[in-house]
Amino acid sequence: MRNEKLALFGGPKIIKKTFKRYNSIGKEEINAVNKVMKTGILSNYIANRSDQFYGGKKVREFETMCQKYFNVKRAISVNSWTSGLIAAVGALDINPGDEIIVSPWTMCATATAIIHWNAIPVFADIENKTFNLDPKKVEEKITNRTKAIMSVDIFGHPGPMDELKKIAKKYKLKIISDAAQSPAAMYKNKYAGTMVDIGGISLNCHKHIQTGEGGVLFTNDIKLAERMCMIRNHAEAVVEGKSPKELANMIGYNFRLGEIECAIGIEQLKKLKSIIFSRRQIAQILNKELKNLRGLRTPIVKKGCTHSYYAYPMVIDTKMLGISKKKIYKALIAEGVQGLQINFTNVHRLPMFINKIAYGKKNFPWTHNKNSKKIKYGKGTCPVAEDLLDNTYMGFGMFVYEYTKSDIDLIIKSFKKVWSNLHKLK
């Protein structure tokens, strides 16, 4: 640590420091991995109808632990959450050209998992408070080709499940809940990702808990669980005797999570409650100290919900302040703030969707949908998500640093200092 004069505003010196990187891996995980290594069995899957079709000892132990923790009938481990989303879409009754409504405010894999099965992502705009799907916008997008809704529980806040389930029932749709960023967040006393046909969480290296790469699917539908297990483990090798209808989308893959990763997952899951508790404490302090800063909105948590804070999302009223978020961001960074982000994703503005080209050069799979000319992508189609990205969103990636008390003190002092000097940024 060293003393430096403030880069932009002068005044008293502050202590700049390097924040410690977030790391949830400890001795428990190291010991668990060593035990697996000593057995010499790093994976115990076989792609045929045997007891080993469902994996080895640690895979089953981890899945059973997840079933009990999240109170679901089946938990299915996969080697990435991208694989999990692909398996989830494939498990549904989806045909080429079918439409699945999805959020534009998410990681690209959420939408490309739909493309993977030659279906069409249709982006519905989000609401500004929690950044989740706006149910009114979802219903506006439904057509005779719509088969499912993919809700994304973004940043740690669950999506509007009651409203989405009501829409799904009305139009006979399935729901997938991408709770990658919201493990153990609650919606009316139920865990995010557990209230719909298929949900799940990510175990990627920067999530709350991690196995390096990985994910866990949740479902209470045994038939869907079995279909996902088959997609996970070379389905075409184990579908003998199935009816033609049951063969739909039974192209299988190697989406299997190994014994080492599941041994780590067992230890990580034990820590999830304390990790989220710690993040909520940090959020409470930031809320208290930052909520009165003019033109800055701290995170909103809706009634009946809890937040698990993958990110600490804020909205800046740049029109009222008359300053771009980029200038504010640069000023905060100059004061020593770390982990701050102003960029996220507008998936609907990616070239794949704007040009409607995924497989080959002739607009497949959009060519399998007569409505495709009416399906619009690009700027202007999801204005709330676009305004957040272009003008107003700023947040802390809670997965980047440990954020100790001294880190939080520095952040708070820096925010207050920058806000008291906003006139100098104009």
CA–CA gap between residue 127 and residue 425 (Å, rounded): 30
CA–CA gap between residue 8 and residue 424 (Å, rounded): 9
CA–CA gap between residue 28 and residue 170 (Å, rounded): 48
CA–CA gap between residue 86 and residue 303 (Å, rounded): 32
pLDDT over 50 at 152, yes or no: yes
Model pLDDT, residue 8: 64
Residue 370 CA, distance from chain mean position: 31
Q: Let me know if the fold of 2-23+272-343+386-425 is the same as that of 27-267.
A: no
Model pLDDT, residue 10: 63
Band of residue 4 on the pLDDT scale cut at 50, 70, 90: very low
Residue 165 CA, distance from chain mean position: 20
| Bridge partners for 126 per DSSP | 133
Secondary structure (3-state) at 245: helix
Model pLDDT, residue 22: 92
Q: Which fold has domain 27-267?
A: Aspartate Aminotransferase; domain 2 (3.40.640)
Backbone phi, psi, residue 296, to 5°: -115, 125
Model pLDDT, residue 2: 37
For residue range 40-53, list pLDDT tens digits in order.
Answer: 999 999 999 888 99
Residue from 185, 177, 278 nearest 220 by CA: 177
Domain spans, the chain: 2-23+272-343+386-425, 27-267
- pTM above the 0.75 mark? yes
Residue from 312, 289, 310 nearest 300 by CA: 312
| Bridge partners for 4 per DSSP | 14
CA dist list (Å): 244 to 59, 89, 240, 248: 31, 19, 11, 7
Q: Within a 13 Å sphere around the CA of 144, how many CA atoms are in the beta-carbon half?
A: 3
341 token code pair: 């982000």
Question: What CATH number is given for 2-23+272-343+386-425 in this structure?
Answer: 3.90.1150.10
